[in-house]
Chains A and B, each alone.
Chain A
């Protein structure tokens, strides 16, 4: 059985290698023409005292697929804005150096000409969509080009087919799941025959299976149309699911790395600037293997581990397994909850579970499976049509939001809906001010929380000058500072870099050790494995599993039903010939946590 799987994997490796070779050959032929050329390019936002981008030198060739990674706030989105013309047309500031797009100086082009060359999928999920329905949104660029209606119908039919949305053309955009929205925004830039496609964090809100699909879709479209593709993304491992020509590493506004994935993964660069490495690479590094580019670490299927199997096995036996947790009393119990947003419609069907004090639990599942809805029900934002919610055995179904909020804190998925002040400090202090906490105590607690969330240097800034990931951290800080007994976080790590991710998560663990119960909604499988021993799995409004995280990911039917994905560590463990991949994952996590705690 094992051998069979290994030989299957080997076959996949061969296929994959072939594809890479083909792609490289094709690209080598066409790669003559540079389409994007930054030369000594710097940019400073008008309101800033220091430049956000420093001395950028970067050339991207026709038909290349390039990934940009780097910490949150390092200037990735800003770099993207320079390409599509939002810098300097919409975001004012000072530009120096030169930027050429297909040979023409970007300064001489207006934003319309640029929009014909560069198609952008923006990072912020709000305001991405303009039309009322899917078809209109896709047609938007064509309408602006005065395309005749007949031609529009034809083109929309083609493009929607390409992204597999042809059946939803008349749907309203509100009614789509996260993954479907992503496809619509892709189609919206595809209708225009642009040369360059720019994606700013296309995966941030997608479930693992949909994320994988999105990456495959981008890859397929690129191969079919031979466009230049630039992807900005924190989820490096997920992007590498399909081959990428080059990875650019940005840190603090500078390019500190520009190389092939294999070279990058073999270098210590990612670790230095706190971008998460693919887990299988990390495991090999922990085991003491020396990674070289010709081991082809860019994909778990191609990764040649023969040379370090022995080391991995050694490490595996020497790492201490983690300790199981002791049982405590139940703090939150949800019983037979049913709910629908509209009368007659059912979004949640008979969900029950209970959570013990001091637990850390994940809620995972597909886009649109009702995870966020569930959290809103717990906090009283919505009222269930039937069922009860108990807090320490007491029925709280009748309590107001405010009463519940005194014990249960929630960080919502979309930061824009939580922010109510202009300045970062005031926003974080708000809850304490309302509760009448003395001023000096407020100050102390707020500053401490800002430090934990990596926002201390920005404490006197307006929130409008923050990057997306930074905004999300402000909302986390504003709830953390209240020190609730139960904490619900809706996708706390979406759009965060590894360092902040670790800092926030370790702080949560610290809180957890002091008895705070933590419920996390997440699409990050590794986060689930790493921090939450238990996972509740949702699919189409039903609870389909409630088990240990490791068991959930070992069950193929659950994975399929809930659009989850096993981590690459499983694959590594299998390929290295360990009989118990689950145990390997558990030990890796324990070890990894130990290493990262030393960062702080």
Chain B
């Protein structure tokens, strides 16, 4: 097998990850109280998957998951935002090696690193790329799309900071370390 090919596990992670992204995005958005603004929990999940399975998986889960979600529930993918979900997943995934979650240790230093990365990445994605694409593709008014981007981006940052960090620490804990399980009677 060539090294640069995706492993079966990564492929399955992309497929199942995209399916979970769809379901979370559709059913597990928590209304903030302000109309039409939700904490979209699927981005917390996306961050987790990107850190576990790396940038390619992160990017594709965002891309495929978002495109499918829009397609099957809303009739048509909103391409500008689909692309950004992919970019966000990919860029967060670049921190995967540094964080090395499989080791089972998720220290404060790593938590800070993770959050710095996710905030920068999402700022680029939601504050800059998404609205710019909206203007380019759909020729929508700039101030409207930039505000939309700012609100969605801000909420996503909070969601990832809370849920993403929580999920990662749970995941790290569930990685039992080598030679740690003994039956104690």
Contacts and interface: CB of A to CB of B under 8 A. Distances in A.
Q: Is A–B contact present in the complex under a CB 8 A cutoff?
A: yes
A47 B181 contact: yes
A456 B185 CA distance: 7
Contacts of B177: 47
Interface string B151-185: 00000000000000000001001101111111111
Interface string A446-480: 00000000001110111011000000000000000
5 contacts: A46-B179, A48-B179, A49-B181, A50-B182, A464-B176
B177 to A, nearest CB: 7
Contact of A47 (B170, B173, B179, B185): B179
Interface residues of A, number: 15
B179 A422 contact: no
A138 B61 CA distance: 27
A457 B183 contact: yes
Interface residues of B, number: 13
Q: Closest 5 CB pairs between A and B?
A: A457-B183, A47-B176, A422-B174, A49-B182, A48-B181
Given A457-B184, A457-B185, A460-B184, A465 B176 contact: yes
Given A46-B179, A47-B177, A49-B180, 15 more contacts: A46-B178, A47-B180, A48-B181, A48-B182, A49-B181, A50-B182, A422-B173, A422-B174, A456-B185, A457-B185, A458-B183, A460-B184, A461-B181, A462-B173, A465-B181
A461 B181 CA distance: 7
Contacts of A47: 176-181
Interface in A109-127: none
A465 to B, nearest CB: 6
A462 B185 contact: no
Given A456-B185, A457-B185, A464 B179 contact: no
Contacts of A45: 181
Nearest to B184: A457
Contacts of A48: 179, 181-182
Contacts, number: 36
Nearest to A422: B174
Interface of A: 45-50, 422, 456-458, 460-462, 464-465
Contacts of B180: 47, 49
Nearest to B178: A46
A497 B51 CA distance: 39
A49 B170 CA distance: 23
Contacts of A456: 185
Contacts of B181: 45, 47-49, 461, 465
A49 B174 contact: no
Nearest to B9: A90
A87 to B, nearest CB: 16
B184 A464 contact: no
Contacts of A49: 179-182
A398 to B, nearest CB: 24
Nearest to A459: B184
B10 to A, nearest CB: 14
Given A456-B185, A457-B184, A457-B185, A464 B178 contact: no
A49 B177 CA distance: 10
A431 to B, nearest CB: 19
B132 to A, nearest CB: 38
Contacts of B174: 422, 462, 464
Nearest to B1: A110
Contacts of B178: 46-47
Contacts of B185: 456-457
A45 B182 CA distance: 12
Contacts of B183: 50, 457-458
A99 B170 CA distance: 37
Nearest to B171: A422
Interface in B101-150: none
A45 to B, nearest CB: 8
A422 B183 CA distance: 17
Contacts of A465: 176, 181
A293 B184 CA distance: 40
B183 to A, nearest CB: 4
Contacts of A461: 176, 181
